[in-house]
Amino acid sequence: MTHKKYTNLSTSELVNMALTREEGVLAANQALTVNTGSRTGRSPKDRFIVKDNLTENTIDWNTINQPISTEKFSALRQQASNHLKKKDCSFISYLKVGSEEKFALTVKVQTELAWHTLFTHNLFIRPEKIITSDQPNQWTLLCVPSFKANPERDGVNSDAAVILNFTEKYILICGTYYAGEMKKSMFSVLNFLLPQEEILPMHCAANVGKDGKTALFFGLSGTGKTTLSADPERYLIGDDEHGWGEEGVFNFEGGCYAKCIDLSQEREPVIWDAIRYGSVMENVILHPETKEPNYSDTRLTQNTRVAYPREFIPLRVTANKADQPNVILFLTCDLYGVLPPVARLTKEQAAYYFLSGYTALVGSTEVGQGTGIKQTFSTCFGAPFFPRPAQVYADLLIKRLENWNTQVYLVNTGWTGGAHGQGGNRFSIPTTRAVVRAIVNGELEDVPYETLRGFDLAIPTFIPQVDTKVLNPRKAWPDEKAYDECAKLLIEKFADNFKKFNVSNTIRDAGPRVG
């Protein structure tokens, strides 16, 4: 059998190939709908970085950044390549990541499946001048999901592997059909490379108001990053990955990767309208006859997803970059219900909460999370994607804040009036949108503030269109003593988590404390 390589196919060609090859079906909204099998999220225990002269002393080696030898990587890559050659065809696209040209990387993507190439066609940046052959210093991403690794032979942990080789500029993905691994692998590459250029890589969304002011939204999946940045009144830059340098903020991507769980046209109109022909929906259940998506059906996973290009968003920043940010929002989903809906942070507090990355794991973004929800601390609001020591990124953040006097706010998109499962309720999207609107419109600059004891956070006493009863979380609880007990538990968790960081006393003392 002759192996054929299809290069730089268009959106319609990739959709047609995926349908012909029975990789997926068209939903009623015309989005290509696929099933990723047993892995419906990232598999962090299967992610490795090749340990060599370049990475030995620059990577923060831990359970997230796991080492693998050059020899094991080379052998596994050869096996995966041989496996792919036995297939009837593969798909190649030459794309880019990074909208700031002097920091952009060319990426040669080769996949076994047409829909995987369509995914990167949507999420990565399509170069203005079509690239038809290998380029100097390009990265290569090889994705062969039907090839299963052998842990004993290959030195990995399961039949899947995601391996980054910084020296050879190569990413190998095998044994998993979840497309998010491709996106996040290139994110990790930029997170390693850009600090050398004095660029802060960020796990954040970004948008711009009609007044030209830029806002950044940090947060883990499920905390509202994509939903809140997809604002029908503001221009979107991107929903997930950006860099911040001396010339401003720039997007790493050319598309968005939104959660579909409980999606509604009323609450999330921008995302709803972007799901159309050319988009890729993962693990969304369709009606067997009408093919209408059921966004509330979680039989396959809570981590249902859709990938679409930025062009599907009418209000977007055409240049895919913007000026220095005016405000930054740290989105945290507080399960304890003790954090306020919004607090204004000092620079030292911003560094503390950035390093802490306190939030909740929502919606099974990672394999093995199950269907529940649990509290976590994810350094830099994206620990799985940052290869260097956390202090590298924290130092860059502080430098940027000092240079541009950007105001940081902590925004709780989680629970209020009680803890999760103990009488509390999650903030509604309209309430959180009202908080965000007040922040980005500058309405919180001149309102009165009070101090939340224990956390020493400055919280506003008035926000337009927000019930004042919820602004101070202690007063939002029916039993203030119960609030104090729950707050004490969370403060102790903050302190325990922060022990691992070697930072100045001014940053350490900016955190919450009991008493």
Tell whether 338 and 265 lie within a shared domain. no
Tell whether 214 and 169 lie within a shared domain. no
For strand 170-174 and strand 139-144, is the pairing parallel, antiparallel, or unpaired?
parallel
Outline where DSSP puts E strands in 445-494.
449-452, 457-460
For 391, phi then psi, to 5°, come to -60, -30
Tokens of 395: 């130092």
Question: Contact, 203 vs 385, CB < 8 A?
Answer: yes
Give a yes or no: residue 68 inside a domain.
Answer: yes
Q: Give the three-class secondary structure for 126.
A: coil
Nearest C-alpha neighbor of 400 from the set 172, 246, 169: 246
CA-CA distance, 157 to 160, in Å (whole number)? 8
Which of 175, 197, 219 corresponds to the end of one domain?
197
Give a yes or no: residue 34 inside a domain.
Answer: no
Tell whether 287 and 338 lie within a shared domain. no
Tell whether 346 and 401 lie within a shared domain. yes
- Residue 399: what pLDDT? 93
Tally of residues, the chain: 515
Tokens of 26: 């068209």
- Residue 370: what pLDDT? 47
Tell whether 492 and 503 lie within a shared domain. yes
The alpha helices in 90-150, defined as continuous H runs, are: 114-123
Total Cβ atoms within 10 A of residue 311:
14
Tell whether 142 and 205 lie within a shared domain. no
For 428, phi then psi, to 5°, come to -75, 155
Give a yes or no: residue 33 inside a domain.
Answer: no
Outline where DSSP puts E strands in 98-252.
105-111, 139-144, 161-165, 170-174, 200-208, 214-218, 235-238, 241-245, 248-251
Tell whether 192 and 271 lie within a shared domain. no
- On the CB side of 489, CA atoms within 13 Å amount to 12
Tell whether 219 and 365 lie within a shared domain. yes
Give a yes or no: residue 30 inside a domain.
Answer: no
Give a yes or no: residue 113 inside a domain.
Answer: yes
Give a yes or no: residue 383 inside a domain.
Answer: yes
Which of 197, 213, 241 corresponds to the end of one domain?
197
The CATH number of the domain holding residue 161 is 3.40.449.10
Q: Phi/psi zone of residue 291: left (φ > 0), alpha (ψ -120 to 50 degrees), beta? A: left
Which of 289, 312, 335 corresponds to the end of one domain?
312
Give a yes or no: residue 474 inside a domain.
Answer: yes
Give the residue numbers annotated as catalytic, written as ranges.
42, 184, 203, 221, 225-226, 240, 305
The whole-model pTM stands at 0.94
How many domains does one find in the chain? 3
The alpha helices in 23-93, defined as continuous H runs, are: 70-85
Which domain, by its residues, includes 494?
200-253+319-508
CA distances from 148 to 42, 90, 141, 154, 157 (A): 16, 17, 17, 10, 12
Tell whether 487 and 469 lie within a shared domain. yes
The CATH number of the domain holding residue 352 is 3.90.228.20
Tell whether 85 and 153 lie within a shared domain. yes
- Residue 87: what pLDDT? 97
Mean per-residue pLDDT pooled into runs of 10, the chain (515 residues):
94 98 98 97 96 97 96 98 97 98 97 98 96 94 98 97 98 98 98 97 96 94 84 94 97 96 93 97 98 97 96 97 97 95 96 94 54 82 93 92 94 95 91 95 95 96 93 96 96 95 91 87
Tell whether 76 and 225 lie within a shared domain. no
Tell whether 208 and 265 lie within a shared domain. no
Total Cβ atoms within 10 A of residue 383:
19
The CATH number of the domain holding residue 301 is 2.170.8.10
Give a yes or no: residue 324 inside a domain.
Answer: yes
- Residues pairing with 105 in the sheet: 97
- Residue 361: what pLDDT? 75
For 460, phi then psi, to 5°, come to -70, 150
